[in-house]
């Protein structure tokens, strides 16, 4: 799957659930959330939480281990989307 296509549903999840995700990760929009870039455990938590919220058809096409790898490899883009909104 094209990574850009996977970023679209993930961005929707991040946008809709931003208020629940940031506190769960220990971050705030202007706070220490940048430290999450180096925190593998927090990024895996984000990936696991986000995967469960993806549309069913996306979860059928992309299995969780592949999605976890995607999130870990694109953490800078994902965190930027999460913090900018």
- How many Å apart are CA 22 and CA 14, to the nearest integer? 10
- How many Å apart are CA 17 and CA 21, to the nearest integer? 6
pLDDT given for residue 69 in this prediction: 95
Would you give the DSSP letter of residue 55?
Answer: -
Contacts of 12 (CB under 8 A, 6+ apart): none
- How many Å apart are CA 34 and CA 78, to the nearest integer? 11
Q: 58-80 pLDDT, tens per residue?
A: 999 999 999 999 999 998 888 88
pLDDT given for residue 48 in this prediction: 93
The alpha-carbon radius of gyration of the chain (Å, integer) is 12
Domain layout of the chain by residue ranges: 3-84
pLDDT given for residue 84 in this prediction: 73
Q: 8-60 pLDDT, tens per residue?
A: 898 888 889 888 887 777 655 555 556 666 788 888 988 999 999 999 999 99
């Amino acid at each position: 799957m094209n990574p850009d296509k996977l970023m679209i549903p993930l961005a929707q999840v991040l946008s809709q659930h931003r208020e629940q995700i940031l506190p769960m990760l220990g971050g705030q929009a202007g706070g220490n959330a940048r430290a999450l870039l180096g925190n593998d455990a927090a990024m895996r938590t984000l990936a696991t939480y986000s995967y469960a919220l993806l549309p069913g058809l996306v979860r059928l096409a992309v299995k969780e281990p592949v999605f976890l790898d995607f999130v870990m490899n694109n953490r800078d883009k994902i965190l930027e989307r999460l913090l900018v909104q």
